[in-house]
Each structure stands twice: as structure tokens, then as C-alpha cells.
């Protein structure tokens, strides 16, 4: 369970004022003393993420955050900012508030913020052993309320059942090959091994795709781009689909027959994590980029960069060759605000394998709000290497969208 990718776990974010019982609730959910509990305000500083198997919910990430009223100093304000960011990753927010005292103005404001963001929310009324005051019985109308006592465990079973009902309505990500292959078919994966590849292991999109092939009762062949010709000719059955790393697109495309269905890990993850159509439409706006334009490369994880890094070397080089030579590139892991985004002319996203679909859709929503076009690594590399619309043939809707756009 601990090796389940974070992006594949249900994310529960514990959110509330300081000393409202957030860390005690976290410990009760985890059935252990993982979070430090103290009467001193501000015990929890940075958000703490705990991985666990939670009965019928399956693998989850429980995020214990700092109190959103921690504005005593500059450091406290930074803690609050980090807690707010974690809300954007939540599948379910547990809004923790003391049931025995009336709501504060900050809590009222926080509830309205959760409503505006349309975040699924359960209100957890702690200190239930002291009773629930009338004001809290009617607080956060529209949100399900559960009264619990962290010391005795009262109400925790009700909370578990409520979480199970909530989770049934959470949008789950499709699998990498959903709707692309049938049981008994063969899938060929092309996975280059270069200096950017991790030692002695596969990268996450490759691992998830391999598991999906097995779950779908398909046959799999796997090779590097150097062995592709021998591997392909040696297969007993023609592959229903070939999936390659984006960096090897050009070589793989030229090696395979032109009628062989081909796509990339990055493209199937663009569909899995976000809105593939949005990324396809973004390609049609590459010719709008002005001289001196600003291009944002937006990644979702931090890693050591090699000499041929895809985000800082390969994409900028190809972009300057195929689109415009006189543009400026910037790299970020966290998406800027709509106001900051409006200063960019184009955004190129990574595959997003380390974030949830909800988080990637939030990024896309911010791009739309700022009216900034974008695409992702796989689509841009396929376009730059002349492999579109071919790399979209497995996806009929997006294939038609590309052919209908002026890309």
C-alpha cells in the first residue's frame, strides 16, 4: 500500500483552526500517534502527509495541516499559505471545528471559501464530550456534520461510514489504457534507457501502464528504441498499440510501419490526468506566439536534471527550431496565479504523473481563466517531430479535433 502512487490515493485534507483537534483526529483516522498533539497553538507547522490503507476506502493520503488562523508572524503566514495549497489537492476536506463553542468569523469565512471552490467537505465537530452548542448545530449548512470525541473515540465509526459514502462520489481516474486495448491483445512499450532514466527501476507512467496491461489480460512486449526493429519483427501477433517515451518519438515513428497505432506515455497520461482536447487545441495557437514571447514549462515534481533534460533542454531546443527562435523559457513546479499566468504566451505541461486528476484539472482551469493556451510534453514532441495526427489515432475524438484545427 505504501508504494501506491500518491496520485492514485484518495486525499483527505484535515483543515481547521489551531487547537481544534486536527492532529488528534488525524491520529484517530490513522489508528496511531503519527501527529504530535499539544495544547500549545501552532504545533503542526508544515502540512504532514500520512499514507495508509483505510478499510473500504482503500489507499489514502491523510494530510494534517497547520491552523488557518496562524497569522501571528511571517512564518505563521507561510504555514497558512502551504495549508491553503493542500486544499487544492483534496478529494475530501475534513473541516475540523470545536463543537462546544460558537463558530468564529474566520471559520465562517473559511466555509464560504470551501463552498466557492466546490470542494467536497465534511464538517467534523470535535470535543463532542462537552456537548454541541446550538450555533454549531446549524453551522456550515449544506455540509454533512459528524460529532466526534477524539479521546473516547465517540463518533469515529460514523465518520468512517460518512467518508465511505463521500468516496463513492469522488471522480476516479481512468486507467492508462482504458478503452484502447482488449483482453488477449498485444501491447508494445518502448522505454529508452538514457542518463535521465532512474537507476534499476522504471518511471511511474511506465509502471502504471505495465500494471494496466496485466489487469486487462493483455500480452506485453517491452524494449528500448535501439532494439525496436528486432522486437517488432519478432512478435507473433501485431501489437494493438505501441506506446513510447516521448523523447524517442521520432526514431520509433520512423521504425514502425505507418499504419501501426502509436502514441506516447505522456499523451495517455494527458488523457488520464486532465483534458487531452484542451492540450490538442493549444497546438493550434503556437503561431500566435510573438517575438520575445514568454514560455512557461510547468512540471509537477522535483528531480535532479541531466544534460539532456526534457523540460530545460529538449523542449526549448525543439521549440526554438520549430516555432520561434527568439522566445524566453521559464520553469516552475507550482502553477502561478491567473494574474501571473497572463504574462505568459504559452504553457507546456509535463505528463502530470505525480499529481491527481483534480490537481491537473485545476491547472487547466487556471489557464483557461487567464486565457493562456497550453499543451503537454508528449503532444508538443509529437507535433515537433511530425508525428501528429498519427499519435492521436488511438483517440478518435481528439484525432478529429486536431484535424479540424489549423495545427
Half-sphere exposure of 318 (CA within 13 A, CB side): 24
One fold for 186-267 and 275-404: yes
- Whether the Cβ atoms of residue 211 and residue 345 lie closer than 8 Å to each other: no
- Give the domain ranges of the chain: 6-167, 186-267, 275-404
CA–CA dist 65, 18 (Å, integer):
10
Cell numbers 500518491 correspond to: 6
Please give the Cα distance from 23 to 18 (Å, whole number).
Answer: 10
**Residue 98: pLDDT band with limits 50, 70, 90:** very high
Q: Is the peptide bond before 389 cis (omega within 30 degrees of 0)?
A: yes
Strands 48-53 and 59-64: antiparallel
Q: How far apart are CA 89 and CA 60, in angstroms?
A: 12
Among residues of the chain, what percentage have pLDDT more than 70?
Answer: 89
Q: What are phi and psi of 371, to 5 degrees?
A: 55, 45
- Grid cell in block for residue 12: 483527505
Q: Are 63 and 35 in contact (CB under 8 A)?
A: no
Q: What are phi and psi of 406, to 5 degrees?
A: -90, 70
- Cα separation, 347 vs 330, in Å, equals 10
Q: What is the pLDDT of residue 172?
A: 77
Q: d(Cα 136, Cα 278) in Å, to the nearest integer?
A: 43
Residue 407 contacts residue 323 (beta carbons within 8 Å): no
Report the distance separating Cα 230 and Cα 137, nearest Å: 70
Order the strands of the 346-349 sheet from edge to edge: 328-332, 294-298, 346-349, 374-376
Q: Which of 14-28, 82-96, 230-244 has the highest mean pLDDT?
A: 230-244
What's the pLDDT band for 305 if we cut at 50, 70, 90? low
Q: How many other CB atoms are found less than 10 A from the CB of residue 195?
A: 8
Helix locations, 88-175, DSSP H: 105-117, 134-137, 156-167
> Nearest-CA neighbor of 379 among 315, 312, 305, 298?
315
CATH topology of domain 6-167: Rossmann fold (3.40.50)
Strand partners for 285: none
CATH of region 186-267, choose from 3.40.50.1220, 3.40.50.11420, 3.60.20.10, 3.30.70.2860: 3.40.50.11420
Q: Residue 284 pLDDT more than 90?
A: yes
pLDDT at 73: 60
Residues near 44 by beta carbon (within 8 Å), at least 6 away in sequence: 22, 23, 35, 36, 64, 65, 66, 67
Beta strands in 17-126 (DSSP E): 48-53, 59-64, 92-98, 121-126
Instruction: Give pLDDT, residue 36.
Output: 47
Tens of pLDDT, residues 155-209: 999 999 988 888 777 777 899 999 999 999 999 999 988 666 667 678 889 999 9
SS3 272: helix
Backbone φ and ψ of 6, nearest 5°: -55, -40
| E-assigned strand segments in 315-359 | 328-332, 346-349
* pLDDT bracket for residue 1 (50, 70, 90): very low
* pTM exceeding the 0.75 threshold for the entire prediction: yes
**How do 262-264 and 219-223 pair as beta strands?**
unpaired
Cα–Cα distance measured from residue 240 to residue 302, given in angstroms and rounded to the nearest whole number: 34
Q: Is the pLDDT of residue 39 over 80?
A: no
Name the grid cell of 362. 485545476
Tell me the CA distances in angstroms from 10 to 2, 15, 35, 51, 52, one per residue in order: 13, 16, 19, 10, 10
Task: Identify the CA nearest to 377 among candidates 337, 333, 319, 324.
Answer: 319
Q: H/E element holding 38?
A: none
pLDDT reported for residue 82: 80
**What mean pLDDT, rounded, does the chain reach?**
87
Just give the CATH number of 275-404: 3.40.50.11410
- CA–CA dist 339, 162 (Å, integer): 38
The residues, ordered by sequence, that sit 6+ positions from 340 with a Cβ below 8 Å of its Cβ are none
296 backbone dihedrals φ, ψ, rounded to 5°: -105, 120
Amino acid at each position: 500500500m505504501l508504494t501506491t502512487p500518491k496520485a492514485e490515493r484518495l486525499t483527505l485534507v484535515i483543515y481547521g483552526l489551531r487547537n481544534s483537534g486536527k492532529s488528534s483526529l488525524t491520529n484517530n483516522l490513522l489508528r496511531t500517534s503519527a501527529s504530535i498533539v499539544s495544547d500549545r497553538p501552532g504545533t503542526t507547522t508544515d502540512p504532514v502527509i500520512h499514507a495508509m490503507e483505510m478499510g473500504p476506502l482503500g489507499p489514502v493520503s491523510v494530510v494534517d495541516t497547520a491552523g488557518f488562523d496562524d497569522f501571528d508572524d511571517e512564518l505563521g503566514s507561510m504555514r497558512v499559505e502551504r495549508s491553503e495549497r493542500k486544499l487544492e489537492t483534496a478529494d475530501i476536506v475534513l473541516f475540523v471545528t470545536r463543537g462546544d463553542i460558537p463558530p468564529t468569523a474566520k471559520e465562517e469565512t473559511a466555509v464560504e471559501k470551501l463552498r466557492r471552490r466546490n470542494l467536497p467537505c465534511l464538517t467534523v465537530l470535535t470535543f463532542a464530550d462537552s456537548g454541541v452548542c446550538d450555533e454549531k448545530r446549524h453551522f456550515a449548512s449544506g455540509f454533512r456534520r459528524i460529532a466526534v470525541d477524539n479521546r473516547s473515540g465517540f463518533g469515529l465509526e460514523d465518520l468512517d461510514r460518512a467518508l465511505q459514502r463521500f468516496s463513492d462520489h469522488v471522480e476516479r481516474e481512468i486507467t492508462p489504457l482504458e478503452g484502447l486495448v482488449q483482453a488477449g491483445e498485444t501491447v508494445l512499450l518502448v522505454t529508452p534507457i538514457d542518463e535521465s532514466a532512474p537507476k534499476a527501476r522504471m518511471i511511474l507512467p511506465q509502471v502504471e501502464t505495465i500494471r494496466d496491461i496485466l489487469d486487462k489480460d493483455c500480452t506485453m512486449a517491452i524494449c528500448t528504441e535501439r532494439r525496436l526493429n528486432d522486437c517488432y519483427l519478432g512478435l507473433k501477433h501485431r501489437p494493438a498499440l505501441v506506446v513510447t517515451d516521448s523523447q524517442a518519438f521520432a526514431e520509433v515513428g520512423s521504425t514502425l510501419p505507418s499504419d501501426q497505432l502509436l502514441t506516447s506515455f505522456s499523451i495517455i497520461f494527458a488523457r488520464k490526468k486532465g483534458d487531452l482536447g484542451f492540450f490538442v487545441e493549444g497546438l493550434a495557437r503556437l503561431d500566435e506566439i510573438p517575438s520575445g514571447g514568454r514560455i512557461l514549462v510547468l512540471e509537477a515534481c522535483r528531480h535532479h536534471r541531466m544534460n539532456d533534460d526534457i523540460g530545460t533542454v529538449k523542449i526549448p531546443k525543439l521549440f526554438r527550431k520549430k516555432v520561434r527562435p527568439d522566445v524566453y523559457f521559464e520553469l516552475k513546479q507550482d502553477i502561478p496565479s491567473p494574474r501571473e499566468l497572463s504574462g505568459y504566451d504559452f504553457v507546456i505541461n509535463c505528463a502530470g504523473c505525480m499529481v491527481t486528476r483534480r490537481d491537473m484539472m485545476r491547472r487547466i482551469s487556471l489557464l483557461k481563466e487567464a486565457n493562456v493556451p497550453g499543451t503537454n510534453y508528449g503532444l508538443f514532441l509529437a507535433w515537433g517531430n511530425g508525428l501528429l495526427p498519427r499519435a492521436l489515432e488511438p483517440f478518435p475524438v481528439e484525432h478529429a479535433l486536431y484535424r479540424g484545427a489549423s495545427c
